[in-house]
Amino acid sequence: MTNSDFNAVATQLNQAWDAAFNVKDHAQVVSFYDDEATVLPAGAGQVNGKDALLTFWQGAIASGIVDHKLELIHAEADGNLAFQRGHWSAAVVNAEGQRQSFSGNVHLLYRKQADGNWKLLSHIWN
Amino acid sequence: MKNCKSIAVLAVLVLAAIAAVMAYQCNAKPDKEKADAIVSQLNAAWDEAFVQASAGTISTYYDANGSLLPAGGEQVTGTKAIADFWSGLFAKGLTDHHIETVETGIVGNTIYQRAKWSAVLKGVDGAEPQNFGGNLHLLYKKQDDGSWKILTHTWN
């Protein structure tokens, strides 16, 4: 797979991830991760495996995070691994309806699955 | 007779499965050990250059297209920009960087490392030193000479 092919794949995966998060479907969010995936959150311990990821993303969605957006900066594929450097943004709306925006860098590592699909192996942001 | 045949077929299948598992383990384990050994050396060298506050040395540990994804800053790409970035942090008094590996993996010409980092900000004018730390993700690319260099370096 050429890097420009993977760019298209990564862009599509970003849109699917954001769509699942923004409709508050944590199970759909977790379906984008490899069985051995790890999330490395800002300010918390690393989260390993699908069960822990379900709890993690359910908690993030329940905490009121909305409008998650992943924007690709650079992506490369090499054999069965690929990565994306990007930018993320999201917002939190508090009980008084005040909106606060957050953003930062994001790095996503993907592993090619037996069926040819790419799933997230590592996900870190700041 | 039919039963005997079934048992024989089953026995062959079981043996094949055991052989497959053994082959997988034999292949998988050295890779894991190999990645751990490579990463352990790379971490020690990186941390040592940090203690020496040598931005020039640190920048040689990155691929020519290497990138930093700093917490609270724009992404930094290329050897010169990476050297300048670390040089700026050394000037602010950051020292004693330590990488503690959590998990490594090697696939083809790529190694990934999930880790924890910690560092100390020196106290200026009698102020107490401050400790910092968080999660770290490093991706390495095998170079033409067989060495491994950092392609992406992300922390929070």
For B104, which residue in chain A has the nearest alpha carbon?
Answer: A122
Q: Which CATH number does the domain housing residue B88 bear?
A: 3.10.450.50
Domain ranges of chain A: 3-125
Contact A40 B151 (CB under 8 A): no
**For testing contact with chain B, the best of A76, A80, A109, A119 (most B CBs within 10 A):** A109
A window 88-107, beta carbon within 8 A of B? 104-107
Q: Which CATH architecture has domain A3-125?
A: Roll (3.10)
Q: Is residue B129 helix, strand or coil?
A: coil
Q: Which two tokens stand for residue B142?
A: 């095998």
**What are the tens digits of pLDDT across the range A53-109?**
999 999 999 999 999 999 999 999 999 999 999 999 999 988 888 999 999 999 999
Length of chain B: 156
Nearest Cα residue to A17 out of A3, A31, A7: A31
Cα distance between residue B118 and residue B132, in whole Å = 6
Domain assignment present for B78: yes
Q: How far is A79 from chain B (nearest CA, A)?
A: 7
Of B69, B107, B114, the CB nearest to A46: B114
Q: What is the mean pLDDT of residues B80-101?
A: 97
The set of residues, in sequence order, having a beta carbon less than 8 Å from that of A53 and lying 6+ positions away, is: A30, A33, A37, A39, A47
Q: How far is A13 from chain B (nearest CA, A)?
A: 20
Q: What is the mean pLDDT of residues A8-25?
A: 98
Q: Which domain holds residue B111?
A: 29-155
Q: Are B76 and B82 in contact (CB under 8 A)?
A: yes
Banded pLDDT at A7 (limits 50, 70, 90): very high
Domain assignment present for B22: no
Percent of chain A clearing pLDDT 90 (strictly above) = 92
Which amino acid is it at A82? Answer: A
Sign (positive/negative) of CA torsion B28, B100, B116, B113? negative
Contact B69 A126 (CB under 8 A): yes
Between strands A65-78 and B76-77, the pairing is unpaired
**What are the tens digits of pLDDT across the range B60-90?**
999 999 999 999 999 999 999 999 999 999 9
Banded pLDDT at B26 (limits 50, 70, 90): low
Number of domains forming the structure of chain B: 1
Q: How far is A123 from chain B (nearest CA, A)?
A: 9
Other Cβ atoms within 10 Å of B149 Cβ, number: 17
Between strands A118-125 and A81-93, the pairing is unpaired
Domain assignment present for B5: no
